[in-house]
Each structure stands twice: as structure tokens, then as C-alpha cells.
Structure 1
């Protein structure tokens, strides 16, 4: 067995055929993985730094070719998804820039065959892709063809550079001889012990026997003084596609604040590199080496104060408790942890540390909440939130008026502030994800409910989303022609038809007619009990019927309330 670092050119060396065995599963990556892959390649191009794309396992086989044609054949034991995607990506890139000769130079053997040969499941479609001419989409429904057409549509040649990617993308390549047991090695690699967390790596990096007191002052007393405190920092939350601990989120946010300090003169390329959460440990080492003259004390000295502010600000369990009607850290926690906006964390931490008066902090949080909810309502992308919020730190935006001006002056399509007309339209027409709809209604409910209400508001996590007119309306709500049915199907997904209730209605009445669904049947409670007392349901449960006009009326009413809350 031989293991080592390899670039793309090292894996596809011009005379080696990589063969995916017939028994391996088909190509299964989808749009989520393609989007991430494309983002990684844009990052490599912009940062011009080495980027690790994982390990691959290859096994030597006798070639069956003459030496002049193919010098070696390797069976792909592990890594077919990444290798396949890499070849498809380069094929699409070369098609986009009308340079298929470059693709052939990198990935086609002297025999005329592409250096990656697929197994029985995908061979036909893979060959259709790699042999395509021109820059038109390829017809077909397989994941292989889907990947090619996705890259063909979404690659921006200004953001991806072929040579930069080739020289910086790296694999760990494990090369097995013919006699070695690939299954044993594969199983061993995939069943190794638990990886060290970022926090553990940083602890080992910062401290040694010579600075035990620093360890006690800057780490043990901060993150591990009691089991309860350690439990807080070890909480796991879902951010994007992965689970991360709070201590990991803290170190990420703390680094983003440090690198935005103008006095340090961190380059744009390095800021981009430091923004990647997958590089967090390496980013700290690199930042300290380049911008702190190798001294760790500067970082450690600033860390304690920020950790204390983080602990007093961020708490995922806020989603299990009722939140106040006024702008607050509790409402920020629902936005961040309940509605999955973790990119807010660095700027919120910066505001809590830098803005002295609670009143001004609340005003900043009001503007932030309005911004996030408005964009959520119009289904705007969150893709560039990280860049936006770190720019606010860079420009030392510490008060609500400065934040409002910064957001209003930002006219980029990916980060602009939606206006009132768009918000109104969104309540009437937008079909949000269930989590987003629940979040909008919950935060609106908490803001408009009477202070002397006899019913208590529960935590965000205690509510579920209910369609007042059910998705399966056809059995109990009357027949419509095809065009009208299509309009109804869309209308019932909009906010005017949605309610937050404390538990899901029994399936037997969820799809019932309006009277039964509202009043319940026998021991099965209906909306009148499950949603009674909610301010966002004002008047709806008194209606004797429920249809598209009622949905539109309630949407208008909700929009008016929303525009009062999220100015």
C-alpha cells in the first residue's frame, strides 16, 4: 500500500485508466452536492490555496493494454462520486469556454477513451456526456446527465479557473497492490475513532506544559469550570448541512470578528480562506502566523471577553420557551437556531460586545429581524449573508441608523432589503418552506398578541404548521375544474391559509370539511380548541366557510400587521 498527497493531474496522469467496477452503486450525487462542489471550486479559484477534497482508494489491476497505450489500470475502490463529478465539471467548464481540446488533454487517453471508465449502471450516460460537442444541454434524466447540465448552466467562467483548480485541489490517494485486501482497508478507514473536534485541536495548539496557568485562565475557567458550563458549550445545533457545537460556532464567529479588524490589514484572499468553516483550525494557525507574528497571547487575551458575551447571548433552548414581543436576544435566537440563520452569529456577537446600551442593541436587533424576515417572505437567497454581515463588522456598523443606511444602500440582488409592496405580495402569493411559514407566524404572533392575553405563548418548538384548507381538499371541499383546482392548490400553501397550533390535528379530521376541522369530532379536537387565543387567527375561526377569498382577506390582514412589526 502506498498513500500520499495527489493533485488532479497526479490522479489523471495521461496514461492511467481508472475503472469503476460493475458492482459499485450508480452515481447518486444531486443538486445539493453539485452546488457545494461548484462553490468549492469558486473558493479554490478565489483563494488560490490548496484545498483537500477527501481520500480516494485505488487498486492496481493488470491492464490488458500495450504499454504504449495505457501503462496502468486502477480499480476505484472509494471515491467514484468525487472523481465522476470532477470529470463532469471539467467537461462542462471546457464546453462553456469552447476549449474541449483542454478537456481531452487532461482526461482522455491515447486510446481515445476517457481516463475514467464507469460500471454498468452509468457507462452509457457518462460516455454521452464526455463525448458531447458544443455547449448545449444533454438530453436524459440520469444523475450523470443532471450533473453535466447543472454545471453547464451554473458555471461562471469568471469565477472558476481551470489551472488554479488543477494545481490546488488535492486528494489523499491510497494505492493498493493487486494482492491487498481492499475491503479490509476500506472498512478500517471508515471505522476509525472519533475525529478530534475543532475545539480540541485548538486547545492542543494553544496550550502545553509551559503555560498551564494560561490554560486555566483562558480555557478551563471559561469553557469547562463546571459540568453544566461544559454541557452548554458542547450543545450541537444544525447549521446548513452539518451539526456543529456551540464552542465551534463561537470560535468561528470570534475569528470572523478578528479578521475584519482594519488595523490588521487582512487581505481579501485570506478573509475568504478564513471564512470557510471546514478550515477553522488551519485558519487560526494561519491567521496567528501571518497577522499576530506567531504570538498566541493576543488571541487568547481577547477570547475570554467574547466567550462571556457569546454565552450570555446565544442559547438554542430559547426555541423551547416563549419569546418577548419586543426586539431581543431571545428573538434573535429563534431566528438563528429555530430558522437556521447561523450566519448572523458573528455580527450579533459583535453588536453585543461593541454596543454599550441595551436600548441601542434592541434597535439593531429590530432592524436585523425586519431584514431577515422580509427576505424570507420574498424567498430571497441567503447565499451572500456571510459576506454581508462580515462587511458590517469591517465597517464598524454599531447602531440601528447606520445599519438601516447600510442595508438600504445595498442594492445587490442577493442581499437587498425588500420593500413594503413586495412584503404584501409575499403574504398573498409566496409559498414558503414549512419552517419559514411557521417562523413568520410565530414571530408575528409573539409581537402582536395582547399583553393581558389569557392564553400563554409557548416556545417555537412547541408549534406545528397546519393548513386551514387541507392539501387533500378534493374529497370534502367540493369539485373544481382543472384550472380552478390548480389555483386552489397554490393558494392553500400561502400564509393566509396557515396557522401555528400546539399539536398536529388528528389525521381523521385534518382533511375533513371546514365545520368538522374547525369544531372537531367526538374526542378529537379541532382548530377552535387547538388554535383558540392566537392573535394571528383573529376572526378566522368565526367564519362558517373557508375558501380562496377568505385566504386572501386573512393574507391582507397579516400583511398589515407584519408591516407594523417589521418596519
Structure 2
């Protein structure tokens, strides 16, 4: 066994074939879970290299396992891919798409260097497929061959395998490379080509475990994939810190008790979600603290290595005890922030409200900014100025959320914001941040104005397009505003709405057809377009039961009576008192505009502020497959599915390794295809198939769980066959 850290240049440079065995699963990586994170890592390293050519910080991609194949001397060298075939296949797709885009901008030398990493010289090829460095499992070969051999510029929609994940991956990376290469204009293209080409060839690192032909590959594979207790960033930093303390002759016991022991309590060991990554709060805090100190983008995988270089070079001659004390002081403030934001009832200060609302938006990315604001001498802190600053940042975040602006550059924006904070004098912070955010002009950072927010929300089906926690937070803010909590004013009522507990209710129900006849002049589509609009949503202290929720508006046991019986909020008074005996499309539209007025007042922009010219919004239409849910760990190969239909109580299906659905000897590409086969009519397979006949948990529930996460991250979701009905 030979184990080495290698780059794509070292792995792919020599003439060879890396063969994926037929029994391995097909290619399953997708944009949300793998391609986009990989691209963001690549882009970050390239940007760093572009800004400072001497700053070479490699990015670790993981490990692969090869096993040598004995073949005659002089033949093309071959190895079997035991583990890591998804990563290797993606790298080949990525390199090929970069090669194509570099060709299109005329950078010949860089193109030739990349060519050596994606094609074997023809002198080594006895067969056409020998040209490829990686040869995937047979189910993917046709698509791989087609997309790797096509001419550029590509017309992906004309390919036979246009729906293959391999083709979609190639298209995704091509689009990203094209955008990045042209981002700085024609004059910058040569420098950008050099940076991105060097990044992909030399600054990505992979651990390669190379087995001889006689070694037991299965045993090694099982050992590598065994479930173990992985060291966190906090664990690694702790070991590093206390080793240095020992070397410096510090009092280890005192340092541990006074400055580190707290990190081993339940609060700090609690796992927190940051996007799709979960990590102990202690590791996330150390990540945020490092970002605040360095004003650099630092992802979770880089925390330990960046901490080491920070301790060894950035803060010299600070001793490790002094550095540990500094970390401890920041952790006290960090915990105080979180505790303030976790107060769900009663009084809450501006800092706590900011933390609660950003938590509802899943914006952990903003915490380094808070650390920076308070990482100053006490005599430099002006609380009124800080509160005004938080209102500005919150307005920027929430307005962008409501217009569904991209969040992918937020790490970079936060580091720029920290730089503004660090150079701004006492009492001038809110003014500096207002100027900084007002001057943002890119799609990833501009501050939406009143006109754009109103235009977006007037017809947006917010219930489907904005995550539930985020939407509830907005409705809570409107309720507080109507109670008199305006800006820094204290309401005469003295009571804020209870946070994080109310249920979102549709005033006109989603199942309206039985008791809610169509209004004259409106079609069924007109009504359905309004069901999920802002003006048709409210908060209730407890959910109405389904009979009341779906019942008529005005009757003794109808919807209006149900609202009146439930601890009525100010949000509901305009509905129960002013709307009277009728709730229809016109009143939904009118209430939508009223709620938008409140939103614009709660989260204002500077007087006269206008959005920069925004490019046409590109919606990411994502068709969710069973394979995607398997890749996210929500479904497994071999899982049995059960019929939900009373006419087919004994029918079962099974999820196959590639995400297909098996029913007896028949195989179907989608759940609905399998449902159609059983019922002999159009069927929503996501609802038809249950994972558990006792709890009635369906594929649709799992799909919704996955979609909610994507919606929370700003994706615009394609409905698949969601609108089909089961009869």
C-alpha cells in the first residue's frame, strides 16, 4: 500500500486508465449537494490566488483508493477505483469543461496543459475509450463518452443524454467557468485563466491510497468507511493549543479550567446546522472568530490549518496563554449573543432581536460581524450606534431574502463589512455601514429598494417560496409593528408577540373547493394564484382543526369564528373586524399591499435609495429525483415502499441502487412511473408510495424535507409531477 497526497496534475498526468467496476453505483452527485460546494471552494482558492499570487493555500478534496491491475509491459497502465469514483468522475468533467472554456478564450498554452489531464495520447490507445483517463461504470459510459467528446461551444440540449447528471455537471461547471473568466472584462482574462488553471491542476489535494494487485481491497474499503468518531476543528485546535502551552511552560491546569473547559459543556458541544453542514457550536465559533480576526473567507474544512498559521505568524509575538485568553473573552460575548436571541417571550433588546431574526433566516454567516462590532475597547462602543447598525444590516438581509437574492457571496460581503467596522471610529458605525451597503451594485450584494420589494411580494406565492421559519419571523415582526414596536419606540402595550411558536394559517384554505365558491369574474387559476400570497396568511396561537380550517368563512363554526376564538392578534383584526362576512380575492390583494407597507416601514432603506440595475433573475429550476434524496442520506438503496391506496394494500416496491423503483420484475425511472404501472393511470408517485404504512410517512414527506432546505437557501423549485392527483 502506498499513500500520498497528490494533486489532479499528479493523478491524471501519466497515461493511464482508472476503471470504475461495474458493481459500483452510477454517478449520483448533483448541483445542490456537491457541484456548487465544489465550485465555491474552487472559486475561493482561485480568487485568493488572483489577489495574491504568493498566497498558495491548497484545498483538500478527500481520499480515493486505487488497486493496480496486472497487465503486459508496454500496455496502457490501468487501476481499479475502489473508492472515490464520484469525486474522480466529477474532476474529469470539471477539467474538461474548463479546458473547453479556456479554448474559447484563446489561451492555447493553458489549454494544452489541461488536455494532458483529460486525454491519453493516441499512441497509447488501442480502442476509442482508451483516450479517457477515467472510465465510469457501464450505466454512465454513454453519457460520459458523449459529453466528453462533444465540440464547444456546446448545445447541451441536443445531446441524447441531456438529462444525465454527467451532462448536467458539465453544463454547470462550464457556466461557472465562463462567468468567472469574464467577470473582470477582456483585459483580465489571461490572469484569470492562469489563476483558475493553476488552482485546478496544483492547488486541489487528494489523498491517494494505491493498493497492489494482491492486497485485500474490500477489507481496506470497509476499514476506511467504518463509522468512527471524527475529530472536530475544536478538537484539533485544542490539541494544538495545549501542545504549545506545554512547550511554552504555561500552567496547563489553570489554562484549561479558566479558558477551555467551558467548550466541553452542552452549550458548546451542541451540533448546529450551517447550510447542510453540521458541527459543534465550539467549532463554528472558532470559525467565526478566525474570520473576524483575519477578515478572510474561511470555510469549515480550513479552520484548523488557518488557526495554526494565524497563531504561528499573524499574532506574533503574542504568547499562547494570551491568545487563549483572547479567544475565551470572545466566546463569552458570543454565548451572550446567542442567549439573547433565544429569548422567545417577553422583553428582548435590539441585539437579541437581531440574533433571533438572523437565526430564523439561518444566517450564521453574520455572527463574525457581531464579534467584530464588539471586539473593541469598551470606551469605543456606542450602544445606540450599534443598535442602528444592526437595523441597517437586518434591513439589507431581510429585503434580499424577500426578493430571493442569492446568498452565495455572503461570506465575502461579511469580511468586507468587518473591514469597514474595524476602521470606523466610535459613533460613526451606522453611517459607515449604511454607505457601504447602499453602494453595493452586484446581484450578490445590492440592497433592494421599496419598488423592487413591493413588485416581488405583490404576486409572490410566499408560502411556497420562502421557508416557514423565515415567513413566520416576518409575520411576527408585522404583529409587533402593529402593536406599536416601531423602530426604537417601546409599545404602549409593553408586550411583544411570542416568538417562534405561532402557526402559519391560510385564511382562504388550500382546500377551498367545497365551501368557497368562485367569486364572480375570477377563475380557478386566479384563486389558486392568491392562496399562498402574503395577504392570505396569518398567525394563530394554535392550528385550527381541519374541519374549521377548510370550512366556510362566515358561519357559527366557520373560519372567521375560529379566528375570533383564538387569542386574536393585531394581524387578524383587519380580517375579522374589517373584512366582515366576506373573504375573497380582492381582500387578499388589498391585505397583501397593507402588509408590504408594514414590511417597508419595519426594514427601511436610506431616503432616496434606489436599487442598482439588477440583471434578470435566473431561477434555478431543480427537478428532484429519488437519487438526489439518496445522495442527501434521506433514502437508502433496498428500502421498501408500500402502497398508500386502499385498492392495492399488498403492493410493495423497492428503491434500487441507482434511484430507480423496482416493482416485481419491472423497473421504473420515477415513483410516478411505478405508480402509473400499479394503477394504470396518471399517479403522483411521491404521495402514492409510503416508507412506513403505520405512520403514513410518504416519499412526498421526504421530498418536502429536502425541498424546504433548498427553499431556505434561495432555490426556485420545479414542481416535477407534484400537481398530479391521486384518485
Corresponding residue to 1:329 among 342, 345, 351: 351
Aligned ranges for residues 13-52 of structure 1 at < 5 Å? 13-32=13-32, 33-47=34-48, 48-52=56-60
Q: Is the 8 A contact 1:34 1:147 kept in 2?
A: yes
What TM-score does the superposition give when structure 1 sets the normalisation length? 0.86
Q: Is the 8 A contact 2:550 2:559 kept in 1?
A: no
What do residues 117-138 of structure 1 show as CA deviations (whole Å, max 9, x unaligned)? 1112211111111111112232
Deviation of 1:453 after TM superposition, in Å, equals 5.8
Q: Which residue of 2 aligns with 1:188?
A: 223
Q: Which residue of 1 aligns with 2:92?
A: 87
Question: Which sits farther off after the overlay, 451-460 or 162-171?
Answer: 451-460
Aligned ranges for residues 258-269 of structure 1 at < 5 Å? 258-260=293-295
Corresponding residue to 2:309 among 286, 293, 296: 286
**Residues 98 and 470 of structure 1: is their aligned pair in 2 closer, same or farther, counting only changes over 3 Å?**
farther
- Could you tell me how far apart the structure 2 residues matched to 1:254 and 1:527 are? 46
**Residues 132 and 225 of structure 1: is their aligned pair in 2 closer, same or farther, counting only changes over 3 Å?**
closer
Q: Is 2:119 the counterpart of 1:108? A: yes
- Could you tell me how far apart the structure 2 residues matched to 1:98 and 1:485 are? 52
Corresponding residue to 1:123 among 111, 130, 141: 141
Q: Is 2:439 the counterpart of 1:405? A: no
**Residues 49 and 480 of structure 1: is their aligned pair in 2 closer, same or farther, counting only changes over 3 Å?**
farther
**Residues 45 and 405 of structure 1: is their aligned pair in 2 closer, same or farther, counting only changes over 3 Å?**
closer
Q: Is 2:412 the counterpart of 1:387? A: yes
**Residues 349 and 104 of structure 1: is their aligned pair in 2 closer, same or farther, counting only changes over 3 Å?**
closer
Corresponding residue to 1:433 among 450, 454, 466: 466
Q: Is 2:337 the counterpart of 1:313? A: yes
Corresponding residue to 2:397 among 347, 372, 375: 372
- Could you tell me how far apart the structure 1 residues matched to 2:471 and 2:291 are? 31
Question: Which sits farther off after the overlay, 377-386 or 443-452?
Answer: 443-452
Secondary structure (helix, strand or coil) at the match of 2:367 reads helix
Q: Which residue of 2 aligns with 1:96?
A: 101
Q: RMSD between aligned alpha carbons? A: 3.1
Q: Is 2:270 the counterpart of 1:235? A: yes
- Could you tell me how far apart the structure 1 residues matched to 2:117 and 2:266 are? 51
What do residues 408-452 of structure 1 show as CA deviations (whole Å, max 9, x unaligned)? 222333212211222222331333323332221123323433556
Corresponding residue to 2:384 among 359, 380, 392: 359
Deviation of 1:456 after TM superposition, in Å, equals 7.2
Q: Aligned residue pairs: how many?
A: 543
- Could you tell me how far apart the structure 1 residues matched to 2:303 and 2:263 are? 26
Q: Is 2:509 the counterpart of 1:445? A: no
Q: Which residue of 1 aligns with 2:447?
A: 417
Deviation of 1:105 after TM superposition, in Å, equals 2.5
Q: Is the 8 A contact 1:319 1:459 kept in 2?
A: no
- Could you tell me how far apart the structure 1 residues matched to 2:510 and 2:70 are? 59
Q: Is the 8 A contact 2:437 2:446 kept in 1?
A: yes
Question: Which sits farther off after the overlay, 184-193 or 84-93?
Answer: 184-193
**Residues 148 and 226 of structure 1: is their aligned pair in 2 closer, same or farther, counting only changes over 3 Å?**
closer
Structure 1 gap ranges (5+): 261-270
**Residues 550 and 473 of structure 1: is their aligned pair in 2 closer, same or farther, counting only changes over 3 Å?**
same
Structure 2 gap ranges (5+): 49-55, 105-110, 182-191, 485-490, 605-727
**Residues 103 and 198 of structure 1: is their aligned pair in 2 closer, same or farther, counting only changes over 3 Å?**
closer
What do residues 308-347 of structure 1 show as CA deviations (whole Å, max 9, x unaligned)? 22222223x844613647x612212223322211111011
Q: Is the 8 A contact 2:95 2:200 kept in 1?
A: no
Q: Is the 8 A contact 1:95 1:134 kept in 2?
A: yes
Deviation of 1:285 after TM superposition, in Å, equals 0.7
Deviation of 1:476 after TM superposition, in Å, equals 4.9
**Residues 162 and 518 of structure 1: is their aligned pair in 2 closer, same or farther, counting only changes over 3 Å?**
farther
**Residues 292 and 226 of structure 1: is their aligned pair in 2 closer, same or farther, counting only changes over 3 Å?**
closer
Deviation of 1:511 after TM superposition, in Å, equals 4.3
What TM-score does the superposition give when structure 2 sets the normalisation length? 0.68
Determine which structure has greater relative contact order: mean sequence separation of CA pairs < 8 Å that are 6+ residues apart, divided by chain length: 1
Q: Which residue of 2 aligns with 1:500?
A: 539
- Could you tell me how far apart the structure 2 residues matched to 1:13 and 1:67 are? 19
Q: Is the 8 A contact 2:144 2:167 kept in 1?
A: yes
Q: Which residue of 1 aligns with 2:638?
A: none
Question: Which sits farther off after the overlay, 27-36 or 498-507?
Answer: 498-507
Q: Is the 8 A contact 2:97 2:174 kept in 1?
A: yes
- Could you tell me how far apart the structure 2 residues matched to 1:103 and 1:475 are? 64
Q: Is the 8 A contact 2:268 2:282 kept in 1?
A: yes
Secondary structure (helix, strand or coil) at the match of 1:98 reads helix
**Residues 367 and 226 of structure 1: is their aligned pair in 2 closer, same or farther, counting only changes over 3 Å?**
closer
Q: Is the 8 A contact 2:519 2:584 kept in 1?
A: no
Deviation of 1:34 after TM superposition, in Å, equals 1.2
- Could you tell me how far apart the structure 2 residues matched to 1:474 and 1:101 are? 64
Deviation of 1:201 after TM superposition, in Å, equals 1.5
**Residues 243 and 413 of structure 1: is their aligned pair in 2 closer, same or farther, counting only changes over 3 Å?**
same
Q: Is the 8 A contact 1:427 1:558 kept in 2?
A: no
What do residues 159-190 of structure 1 show as CA deviations (whole Å, max 9, x unaligned)? 56223321111111112233333222222112
**Residues 222 and 163 of structure 1: is their aligned pair in 2 closer, same or farther, counting only changes over 3 Å?**
closer
Q: Which residue of 1 aligns with 2:584?
A: 547
Q: Is the 8 A contact 1:476 1:513 kept in 2?
A: yes
